[in-house]
Amino acid sequence: MTQIQVVEKILSANDRIADENRAMLDAAGVFALNLMASPGAGKTSLIEQTVKHLSNRLRIGVIDGDIATSLDAERAAAAGAVSMQINTGGDCHLDAVMLHSALASFSLNDIDLLIVENVGNLICPANFRLGTHKSVLIASIPEGDDKPYKYPGIYRGVDTLVINKIDLLPYVPFDMENFQRGVEILNPGLLTFPLSCRTAEGLEPWLTWITESCS
């Protein structure tokens, strides 16, 4: 019982800060995404493609969360985004307090879209609201079609799903029907974008959705 109460207090405090983060974003007119995925699913690749195709229409900022290094933030900056790194020092997720500190030193008035790249993990990030407008999960074909069944929490809680690396479907055993059935059980009608960051197949609907969300 004590453990449950402690967890509830932690999440309640996090939610209060998340609400403050949302207020900051709204005041600046910034649309924000929380990008979650397992390591290697393609979070940074999707950010690169998004910045590459939309930087002529939108001012884009990226806040990158990682346990260590600034490699992904550097990739976002090289693509043309205003980027910032958060190193969690071992924590397996970003939380609202970490994002709040980053937002306080980020020039929100100079961007239209903020993409927060969460730490690669299919468990912890699902439990901590950040205050972004949408939570996006990236699944990738090489991970296998069983992930909605094995990690229901993160699939149940997101607003949007990207299925990345569809160019590998002819080469990797992946039952799309089984995968989508699991997603539908957990999150009926979930907005889904099958695409490939490598070939750009299916990328246009994703870009259109972001553009319309920022307008």
Domain 2-214 in this protein, CATH class: alpha beta
Cα–Cα distance for residue pair 131/19, rounded to 1 Å? 6
3-state secondary structure the chain: CHHHHHHHHHHHHHHHHHHHHHHHHHHHCCEEEEEEECCCCCHHHHHHHHHHHHCCCCCEEEEEEECCCCHHHHHHHHHCCEEEEEECCCCCCCCHHHHHHHHHCCCHHHCCEEEEECCCCCCHHHHCCCCCCEEEEEEEHHHCCCHHHHCHHHHHHCCEEEEECHHHCCCCCCCHHHHHHHHHHHCCCCEEEECCCCCCCCHHHHHHHHHHHHC
Q: What is the pLDDT of residue 9?
A: 64
pLDDT of residue 52: 97
- Given a cut of 90, whether residue 194 has pLDDT beyond it is yes
User: Residue 75 pairs with which residues in a beta bridge?
Assistant: none
**pLDDT over threshold 50, residue 29:** yes
Q: Would you say residue 159 has pLDDT above 80?
A: yes
> Average of pLDDT values for 8-23?
87
pLDDT of 4 over the 60 cut: no
Rounded mean pLDDT, 130-155:
98
211 pLDDT more than 70: yes
Say which residue, 83 or 68, is predicted with more confidence.
83
Given a cut of 80, is residue 3 above it in pLDDT?
Answer: no
Dihedral angle of Cα 123, 77, 32, 124, to the nearest 10 degrees: 10
Q: How far apart are CA 23 and CA 132, in angstroms?
A: 10
Residues 35-79 pLDDT 10s: 999 999 999 999 999 999 999 999 999 999 998 888 989 999 999
Residue 6 confidence (pLDDT):
42
> Minimal CA–CA distance to 130: which of 95, 156, 168, 177?
95
* Residues 70-101 as b or e (16 or more Cβ within 10 Å = b): bebbebbbebebbbbbbbbeebebbbbbbbbe
pLDDT of residue 62: 97
Give tens-digit pLDDT for 95-109.
Answer: 999 999 999 989 999
2 pLDDT above the threshold of 60: no
pLDDT above 60 for 23:
yes
Amino acid 10: pLDDT: 64
* Residue located via tokens 């209060």: 16
Residue that has been written with the tokens 């439990």 in this structure: 127
- Enter the pTM of the model: 0.92
Compute the Cα dihedral for 7, 13, 19, 22 and give only its sign: negative
Q: Answer whether residue 81 shows pLDDT above 70.
A: yes
Domain limits, the chain: 2-214
